[in-house]
């Protein structure tokens, strides 16, 4: 008898059907020499500090470093204590019986680090000694399952993958538990910190503060309008003063020709995009459709379980040579597609592009592909994601597009102007969507043809125009841009040597980044505002406490992800990594415990009410209001897209006016700078900032 353990009941049901285990029992299927059961997520977890004798928060007990870590049934919180999850306990008992009645186990949890960890923790908790094999597949089609079951790998081949997952889990426990307790003890409150969570929060807060405090200043540009051309020639000079720009305009003569000082035309192949990995899919879905990272992951997982697409939790955008051999047949399955059938006919008749084919860049799983099967019961959102993956496959295996770029410099005496235009020579992969959807560079124009001009030619102009602009801050993070920043966290490292060492390194993994964002929202550290991610007052407060400390260091977190990959590859001993985490844990505890409680800004002051005169104005997360019965004084802290800080409220209530508030957003969508003034009747009004300031460096 063989026992097959899947990660979810739906997968177990499919496997049971394929192996002939048709008899339904409680928590499993049996028949034809097989019993098929399942987990549902992590049934077994690391024990909480209470299990080690640390039920209360105590400075003297930190850091808590279990040796060894204990495994417990998944816990649920009841009041102030944790207890076994009854559903998890019930399924574990069923799994134990399935293991006991079997001679060998086949592991069919998701083929990745977390899927491996789910099984190994169950295996260890149940103290099972049965031999086990691994079903390692990238899709859940009947064909893939049958082929995988016909050649299962010895489960011990994946020991390094398990040790990497175990090291990750224990590191998260050590850092999260100890850092949270240390800061809570030091500050007299309840705080939640984490190995990946806190650096991510820090990234969001830094960007928000930069954006909030940015002071926009005007500048001017002058453009020439050459006769007979459909493009403007953009002035190379930026004027910080309107007066200087006016003098330049007066110096320019529309009766005087422009001289072509340089001109070049370059032909450039534009390669097709790589296939999607999970992060690339999440970023694109967020940009195009506003889907959250979590929603995209959920939809991708559903498509996988419906056999429509391959394994979604991949960090590779490449496929191997043997998978490439299957691509023509996968594309053939799209020939009847009403939208892309004609394109598929042309694509399969030629040579497929091999840009996404590289054995060396395929990790546990290859890039996300269609399987050639499609369920008839996809939801609207699943259909959207399925079409995205379809389009990307067609694009990735299409030939390169060919574009020509014209660059020219024109001059009238010392005044210089530039022209940049491009035209498409060959559509290539861009024909899939039927139009150019990528953003056009600033100052670039798409044209159908180029004028034939040479160096020294004279161009008449029919005028010049001046345009006013404003300096802009870096935009607030969206989920798409945050995912990108997390993926390439190594690029933000200041030290050049460290940056080189962490090139291509990210914080978190493709499979966990969505959960990190959702955790920050659940903790009320950040919130979604349209597409932007905005820190809450609570989140900003935590950031102020940890800024500059090791717990907020993205470089350190990125280096750990490199180390975990090295453990998986057999290039690092997991014990070495564990010792480094223990050292780090002691360091962050020492740092955070020195954060004096007296410096906290978590306790709000009470202010005198301008209406009733009582010391009864209290500040809450979303409002400052008088708590005296019958008094209606209040100030909402959400103001024109900006959250008034405690410092702003303090200045308003004590001085009658806030400091300058930057980047406020009006009803028209335009931004402005202003101070908020407290009026005599208890209302508020703006004092607008009229003095332009130079951009901050």
Residue 257 in tokens: 């020709």
- Under the banding of pLDDT at 50, 70 and 90, the label for residue 601 is very low
pLDDT for the residue 27: 93
What average pLDDT does this structure show over 304-326? 90
pLDDT for the residue 447: 67
**Residue 511: pLDDT above 60?**
yes
The helix-helix angle for 554-569 and 159-187 (nearest 10°) equals 160
pLDDT for the residue 602: 44
pLDDT for the residue 692: 43
- Under the banding of pLDDT at 50, 70 and 90, the label for residue 455 is confident
Lowest mean pLDDT among 230-234, 319-323, 450-454: 450-454
The residues annotated as belonging to the active site are 311
SS3 content of the chain, % helix, strand, coil (to 5): 40, 20, 40
Q: Which helix (H) or strand (E) holds 204?
A: helix 197-213
Are 260 and 343 within 8 A, CB to CB?
Answer: no
pLDDT tens per residue across span 521-531: 988 899 998 88
Q: Which residues of 190-209 are buried (b: 16+ CB within 10 A; e: fewer)?
A: ebbbbbbbbbbbbbbbbbbe
What average pLDDT does this structure show over 465-472? 91
Among residues 507, 578, 596, which one has the least CA distance to residue 198? 507
Burial of 221 (0-12, 13-18, 19+ CB in 10 A): middle
pLDDT for the residue 276: 95
**Residue 624: pLDDT above 80?**
yes
**Residue 453: pLDDT above 90?**
no
Lowest mean pLDDT among 30-39, 42-51, 290-299, 606-615: 606-615
DSSP 493-533: -SSHHHHHHTTT--SS-TTTHHHHHHHHHHTTSEEEETTEE
pLDDT tens per residue across span 536-572: 888 998 998 888 888 888 777 878 888 888 998 899 9
What average pLDDT does this structure show over 455-473? 89
- Under the banding of pLDDT at 50, 70 and 90, the label for residue 439 is very low
- Under the banding of pLDDT at 50, 70 and 90, the label for residue 501 is low
Are 375 and 295 within 8 A, CB to CB?
Answer: no
Gap between the Cα atoms of 83 and 78, Å rounded: 7
Gap between the Cα atoms of 369 and 307, Å rounded: 11
Gap between the Cα atoms of 137 and 597, Å rounded: 53
Gap between the Cα atoms of 50 and 616, Å rounded: 41
pLDDT for the residue 384: 95
Q: How far is CA 341 from the centre of its chain?
A: 33
Are 196 and 485 within 8 A, CB to CB?
Answer: no
What average pLDDT does this structure show over 254-261? 89
Among residues 406, 413, 487, which one has the least CA distance to residue 451? 406
Looking at the whole model, is its pTM more than 0.85? Answer: no
pLDDT for the residue 83: 86
pLDDT for the residue 500: 57
| 191 vs 108, more confident | 108
pLDDT tens per residue across span 350-360: 899 999 999 88
Q: Which helix (H) or strand (E) holds 36?
A: strand 34-38
The mean pLDDT value of the chain amounts to: 87
Among residues 224, 236, 230, which one has the least CA distance to residue 451? 230
Gap between the Cα atoms of 625 and 467, Å rounded: 45
pLDDT for the residue 488: 81
Positive or negative, the CA dihedral 289, 287, 539, 648 is negative
């Amino acid at each position: 008898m063989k026992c097959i353990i899947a990660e979810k009941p739906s997968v177990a049901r499919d496997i049971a059907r394929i192996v002939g285990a048709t008899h339904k029992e409680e928590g499993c299927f049996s028949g034809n020499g097989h019993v098929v059961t399942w987990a549902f997520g992590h049934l077994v977890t690391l024990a909480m500090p209470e299990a080690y004798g640390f039920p209360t928060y105590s400075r003297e007990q930190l850091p808590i470093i279990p040796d060894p870590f204990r495994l417990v049934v998944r816990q649920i919180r009841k009041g102030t204590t944790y207890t076994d999850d009854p559903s998890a306990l019930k399924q574990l008992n069923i799994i134990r019986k399935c293991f006991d009645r079997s001679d060998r186990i086949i592991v069919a949890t998701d083929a990745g680090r977390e899927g491996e960890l789910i099984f190994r923790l169950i295996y260890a908790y149940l103290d099972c000694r049965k031999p086990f094999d691994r079903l390692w597949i990238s899709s859940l089609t009947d064909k893939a399952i049958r082929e995988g079951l016909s050649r299962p790998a010895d489960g011990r081949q994946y020991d390094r993958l398990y040790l990497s997952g175990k090291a990750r889990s224990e590191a998260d426990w050590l850092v999260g538990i100890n850092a949270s307790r240390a800061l809570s003890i030091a500050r007299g409150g309840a705080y939640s910190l984490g190995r990946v969570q806190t650096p991510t929060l820090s990234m969001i807060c830094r960007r928000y503060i930069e954006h909030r405090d940015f002071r926009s200043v005007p500048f001017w540009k002058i453009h020439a309008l050459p006769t007979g051309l459909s493009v403007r020639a953009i002035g190379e000079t930026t004027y910080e003063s309107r007066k200087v720009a006016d003098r330049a305009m007066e110096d320019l003569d529309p009766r005087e020709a422009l001289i072509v000082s340089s001109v070049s035309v370059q032909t450039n192949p534009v390669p097709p995009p790589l296939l999607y990995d999970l992060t690339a899919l999440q970023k694109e879905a967020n940009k195009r459709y506003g889907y959250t990272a979590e929603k995209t992951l959920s939809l991708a997982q559903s498509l996988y379980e419906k056999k429509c697409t391959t394994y979604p939790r991949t960090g590779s955008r490449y496929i191997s040579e043997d998978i490439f051999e299957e691509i023509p047949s996968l594309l053939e399955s799209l020939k009847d597609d009403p939208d892309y059938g004609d394109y598929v006919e042309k694509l399969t008749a030629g040579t497929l592009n091999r840009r996404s084919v590289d054995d060396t860049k395929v990790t546990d799983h290859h890039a996300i592909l269609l399987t050639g099967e499609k369920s008839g019961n996809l939801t609207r959102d699943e259909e959207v994601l399925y079409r995205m993956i379809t389009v990307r496959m067609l694009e990735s295996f299409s030939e390169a597009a060919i574009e020509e770029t014209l660059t020219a410099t024109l001059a009238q005496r010392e005044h210089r102007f530039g022209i940049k235009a491009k035209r498409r020579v060959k559509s290539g992969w861009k024909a899939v969507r039927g139009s150019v959807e990528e953003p056009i560079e600033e100052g670039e124009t798409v044209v159908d043809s180029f004028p034939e001009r040479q160096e020294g030619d004279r161009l008449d102009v029919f005028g010049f125009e001046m345009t006013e602009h404003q300096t802009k801050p870096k935009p607030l993070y969206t989920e798409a841009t945050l995912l990108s920043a997390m993926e390439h966290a190594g690029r933000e490292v200041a030290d050049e040597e460290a940056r080189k060492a962490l090139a291509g390194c990210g914080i978190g993994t493709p499979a966990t980044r969505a959960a990190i964002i959702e955790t920050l929202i659940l903790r009320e550290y950040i919130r979604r505002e349209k597409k932007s991610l905005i820190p809450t007052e609570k989140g900003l407060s935590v950031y102020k406490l940890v800024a500059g400390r090791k717990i907020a260091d993205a470089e350190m977190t990125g280096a750990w992800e490199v180390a975990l990959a090295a453990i998986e590859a057999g290039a690092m001993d997991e014990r070495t990594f564990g010792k480094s985490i223990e050292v780090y844990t002691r360091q962050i505890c020492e740092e955070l415990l020195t954060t004096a409680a007296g410096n906290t800004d978590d306790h709000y002051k009470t202010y005198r009410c301008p209406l009733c005169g009582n010391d009864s104005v209290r500040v809450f997360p979303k409002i400052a209001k008088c708590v005296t019965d019958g008094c209606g004084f209040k100030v909402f802290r959400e103001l024109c897209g900006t959250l008034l800080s405690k410092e702003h409220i303090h200045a308003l209530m004590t001085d009658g006016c806030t400091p300058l508030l930057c980047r406020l957003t009006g009803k028209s969508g335009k931004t402005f700078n202003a101070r908020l003034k407290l009026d005599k009747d208890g209302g508020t009004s703006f004092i607008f900032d009229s003095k332009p300031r130079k951009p901050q460096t």
